[in-house]
Each structure stands twice: as C-alpha cells, then as structure tokens.
Amino acid sequence: MTLQALLETMEEEGRRELADVLAEDERRAREILRAARLRAERDRLDVLTRAESTARAEAARLRATGAAAARARVLETVDAELDRIRAEAAQELQDLAGSERGASATLGLFEEAMALLPSATSCTVDPAQVDVVRRHRPELDVQAGPVGIGVVLRDAQGRAVHNTAAVRLDAAWPLLRPVLRDAVLEPPAGGHVEVDAR
C-alpha cells in the first residue's frame, strides 16, 4: 500500500469516525431535548394544577377585596411557583453533574465550546468530570471548579467561553418564565403550549 493510499484510507476512517461521533451526538441531543420536552410538559401540567387550585381558593377568598387584588395574589402565587420550579431545575442540573448523563452532557457542551474557542489552552469543569475531560482532551490544562454540567474554556489571550447548563438555564429562564406564566394564567384554547426547545 502506498503512502498516498494509506493517508487516504486514514482520512476516510477519520471521516467515518467523525460522522459516527456526530450522529451519536445528534442522537443524544434529540434524547435530551425529548426528555426536556416531556419534563417541561409534566412541570407545566403540575404548575397548572397547583396554580389553578390555589387560584380558585384564593379567588373565592379575595372576591370581596376586588378583582385587582385577586389578580395580584394569583400572579404572586404563580410567580412563587415559577421561582420554585426554577430553583428545582437548577438543583436537578447540579445533582446530575456527578452522573454518567452529566459526563455525557459535559462532553457535549465541551465540544460546542471548543468550536467557539479552538485556541483554548485550559478549562474548568466540575470535579466529578475532571478525569473524563482529561482523557477526552489530554492537551488541555483541566482544573476542577464549581461548574456543574459544562465547561469554562480559556485561551492564552484571556478569552473565555462559559458553556454550562446553569448558564444556559440562566439565559433561557427570562424567555421561558413569561411563556410559562402566560400559559398558567391564560391557557390556549387547545389546553397546551408549544415550546420551541431549539
């Protein structure tokens, strides 16, 4: 076998391996999105049930004080429930950090971050994921830190990419909260809300 043929064979094998890795990542991403959608639907129904029950009880008690006062109390109840859901989601993400799913999610977020900062020389990951990331990218200086699921990459010029589940939740929550609040307060005629999980 000639050197050229060997190089072409190695390149083709590399492409196939990359395609397999990308296909697996896509499958995992679809699985995570499907699970998130199911969880969001369960949480939405739970919020709807609790908020409706609380709202009905509160509305009956507050009718005497007027519609404005009742609406304010319902909003307060819904907001408190949404705060609880946000805190619970953050805790579940933190609890997931030390699991196999957490390691898989961390590696996925790691690769996304590397695409944004390919010149990275160091990273910080959750202590439970240090060995996984070191095996995955031995050329990087991998440090342990309170990152949870995900990674903080840095390059020699001081640039950083924070790609963690907590950062993503923080970024998405201001967009999700009003959608969830509106869904609880004014559910659509069909009874469910479409959430684009892209």
Dump pLDDT digits (tens) for 135-151: 999 999 999 999 999 99
pLDDT recorded at residue 29:
66
Residues pairing with 125 in the sheet: 144
Let me know: does 132 contact 108? Beta carbons within 8 Å: no
Q: Looking up tokens 């991998």, which residue turns up?
A: 142
**What's the mean per-residue pLDDT of the chain?**
83
Confidence band of 183 (pLDDT split at 50, 70, 90): confident
What secondary structure, in 3-state letters, does the chain show? Answer: CCHHHHHHHHHHHHHHHHHHHHHHHHHHHHHHHHHHHHHHHHHHHHHHHHHHHHHHHHHHHHHHHCHHHHHHHHHHHHHHHHHHHHHHHHHHHHHHCCCHHHHHHHHHHHHHHHHHCCCEEEEEECHHHHHHHHHHCCCCEEEECCCCCEEEEEECCCCEEEEEHHHHHHHHHHHHHHHHHHHHHCCCCCCCCCCCCC
| pLDDT tens track for 63-72 | 666 667 777 8
Nearest to 119 by CA among 150, 158, 149: 158
Q: Give the pLDDT band (50/70/90) at residue 179.
A: confident
The pLDDT value given to residue 185: 79
Locate 53 and state its tokens: 């029950």
> ∠ CA(12), CA(113), CA(128), 5° rounding?
100
Q: Which domains does the chain have, with CATH numbers?
A: 1-189 (3.30.2320.30)
For the cut 70, the answer to whether the pLDDT of residue 192 exceeds it is no
Per-residue model confidence as pLDDT tens digits over 5-34: 776 787 787 778 767 776 776 787 678 777
Q: Centre a 10 Å sphere on the Cβ of residue 76 and count the other Cβ atoms it contains.
A: 11
Is pLDDT at 126 greater than 90 in this prediction?
yes
